[in-house]
Amino acid sequence: MGFRIFDVFAVGLVLTFGEIQGQDTISYTGSKLVNVDYHHGQLSPAIGVHNIQTLRVNRDNKETGFGWTYNHAPMLAYWNNTFYLNYLSNPVGEHVPPGQTLLQTSADGNAWSKPQIIFPPYIIPDGTTKKDYPGVAKDLLAVMHQRMGFFVSENNKLLTLGYYGIALDAKDDPNDGNGIGRVVREIHKDGTLGPIYFIRHNASWKQKSEYPLYNTSKDKGFVEACNELLSNRLMTQQWVEEADRNDAIVSLKGEYKAFSYYHLPDGRVVGLWKNALTSISKDDGKTWLYPPKRAPRFVNSNAKIWGQKTADGKYVTVYNPSEFRWPLALSVSDDGLHYKNLLLVNGEITSMRYGGNYKSYGPQYVRGIEEGNGVPTDGKLWLTYSMNKEDIWVSSVPLPITERADQQANDVFDKMVSGRELDSWNIYSPVWSPVKVAKSTNGEKVLSLSDSDLFDYAKAERIIPATKKLIAEFSVTPQQVKNGLLDIEFQDAKGTPGIRLSFDSTGVFRTKAGYRNKTLLKYEANQEYKIAVKLNTETRLYTVTVNGKNTGNNILFAPLESVERITFRTGEVRRFPNADTPTDQMYDLLNTEKRAEKAEYHIRSLKTSSF
């Protein structure tokens, strides 16, 4: 999973567009490119995306029970009206043992269970060696490395899988074909787990195994499900990195990493690999029409790219469209071959609280729900990924995927349909800084942003039609006055703010005036502030009226062509890391387990109009 120099060369990235001409392949036909000087890449968001943190890791064990701070490579399934998410974990860094795989579940994708271990650390016998790599195992445990997490069989069995690899030191690859093998167990409908079995060993593994082979199970349905999996070449193609290099169960051999795929209407399969490599199969993965080649005009480095057909009949690819692991974006295709746009999914990078081997900044290693692994009843596109190889997140994307709002905001939360209040809002909701609809002290529904995280914030964003002359009316009730921060920004399509209003930690409601801040008034806790902002991007002038009182004229601190977003955020803008930040952070931050004093803000309504 960490960067390897040979990755760049072994996958044939020097191929030119001319070498692919004439072959049917996916391509990016849009014109949008990212600016990596911004975490959001200056991309417009897909409207209604909800980014939810499922795991905020803490080394003190209070939240997760384990305290292992390297968490990565999550996988997602939907079965039995439940979301299942598994991810691998190490104490500190990538490929540094011991390793284990954990499981989280959720009924709605918003509230997630505490993780439970599904594949525990595995003891490697002393004296174990690896072909073509120096070193001898002594008091060593395996690490886990897998590109496949779930399989739902025709007899409706849910299998979860992992792979035990051997890393003799921090630079050794556990996915070199010389590991132990792949394990499998069943997840039952009542949430219990079946026994652990090996479904396939590496040929190089000659030791006695801790777990039996799957075909020794007395559960015929389980054995049948495993056999079905073994016969599915699209499933086993995902095993190529860990499998023996000549394993007959893998159709396409070579340094092709993190396989994902989808079917076209004519039955052909589009395959995708790291670095936006692609090929097409006419026989469900048994053979491929050409060696995987770079998809024309796709920008993607050595992180995963995900592709799937969506419930509305379109196709989507999701990936980091840069040489860095930010932002996380998606592109939509009508036919599964030509991708026409580039929209933001998650443009945040929280602080990397814990350093470690091969830990990279950003939302990365994205996976959706694989074909056959379930279709959520809400009809949304669901994704999972890690942040900084540390915390685990999911994102839900409404369908059809839209970029432009067709009407102004008229959101009075207490009058909106329950469960649908945030359909038009984009949210970023960490475990310690949740965004949700809650009840105020007077019993009304409000949009609540709370924050007790020293290293992250809550954010809610409303996309509106591009407007040059805008009136925005909203109501904010701060729940405290001596701590916290709520920034309210008016931004353009690229996320550039021109107005920033703030409820700060000194009891001041202020606006940004160039280099300085201008005090508008002193505010009190638990008092509602009805705010109206009237702005004109052509004159660059705006006024702020609070509870009927005009606080005077102001000028935009940055020029905007128009306003397309209104953002509420419980923390300051983040600009670290950037494109020049050193890759490897090997230090921990201070006070990573300490909670900040809670700050909370209630937004009762937001209405916008043009004049």
For the chain, domain boundaries: 5-397, 410-610
Name which of 203, 200, 135, 132 is nearest 170 in CA terms.
Answer: 135
d(CA 74, CA 85): 6
- Helical residues (DSSP H) of 5-158, grouped into ranges: 5-10, 17-20
- pLDDT at res. 22: 54
Residue 307, phi then psi, degrees to nearest 5: -135, 145
Beta-carbon contacts of 609 under 8 Å, excluding residues fewer than 6 positions away, are 408, 470, 471
**Residue 535 class from Cβ within 10 Å (0-12 exposed, 13-18 middle, 19+ buried)?**
buried
d(CA 509, CA 486): 9
d(CA 172, CA 145): 12
Residue 187, amino acid? I
Indicate the class that CATH gives domain 410-610. Answer: mainly beta
**Residue 355 class from Cβ within 10 Å (0-12 exposed, 13-18 middle, 19+ buried)?**
middle
d(CA 446, CA 456): 22
Task: Examine domains 5-397 and 410-610 and report if their fold is the same.
Answer: no
d(CA 135, CA 166): 11
d(CA 204, CA 206): 6
- The predicted model scores a pTM of 0.95
Beta-carbon contacts of 401 under 8 Å, excluding residues fewer than 6 positions away, are 46, 310, 314, 316, 330, 332, 343, 381
**Average pLDDT for consecutive 10-residue bins of the chain (611 residues)?**
42 41 84 97 98 96 90 98 98 97 98 98 96 95 97 98 97 95 98 98 94 98 98 98 94 96 98 97 98 96 96 98 98 98 98 97 98 97 98 98 98 98 98 98 97 98 98 98 98 98 98 97 98 98 98 98 98 97 94 97 98 98
Query: pLDDT for 215-236, tens place per residue?
Result: 999 999 999 999 999 999 999 9
Name which of 321, 402, 308 is nearest 362 in CA terms.
Answer: 321
Q: Does domain 5-397 have CATH number 2.120.10.10?
A: yes
d(CA 260, CA 91): 28
β-strands 328-333, 343-346 pairing:
antiparallel
User: How many other CB atoms sit within 10 Å of the CB of residue 564?
Assistant: 24
